[in-house]
Amino acid sequence: MTNVPGDLKYSKDHEWVQSLGNNRIRVGITDYAQKQLGDLVYVELPAVGSQWDAGDNFGTVESVKSVSELYMPVTGTIAAVNESLSDPMGPDQINDDPYGDGWIAEVTVADAAALKGLLTPAEYEKLASE
């Protein structure tokens, strides 16, 4: 069973979004996505200060099985990245705790209203089960 926390929003590309307030969000990949990828070995993080449009590829995660692109769920600017993911054992954090220590980036959102277009937990559960 996939873990889908009820206090987050989700993208169709399997990223989760947590509102931190003041137009800032935290982004990571879902439990479903990390299970599909398997053991992660590398994470390409975006540069702090870089700007992205919703749907842009802003990084990658590499597993022993494949490389998968990360897609920006909303338009915004990278405010912080989880530097610990760059450590040799860092990507394990995504497998172990995708919604906690495994977060990827914090983003200052250009338009907070864009968050309303993301999936609810129930909508994401339906998508992940298809």
Task: Quote the tokens at residue 57.
Answer: 């590829």
- Domains, the chain: 9-110 (2.40.50.100)
Query: pTM for the complete prediction?
Result: 0.95
Q: What is the 3-state secondary structure (H, E, C) of 73-104?
A: CCCEEEEEECHHHHCCCCCHHHHHCCCCCCCC
Q: What is the pLDDT of residue 130?
A: 85
The residues, any chain, with a CB within 8 Å of residue 55's CB and separated by 6 or more, are: 71, 72
Please give the pLDDT value at position 1: 61
- Residues (pLDDT < 70) of the chain are 1
Tell me the C-alpha distance between 114 and 3, whole Å: 24
- Residue 113's pLDDT is 92
pLDDT of residue 65: 87
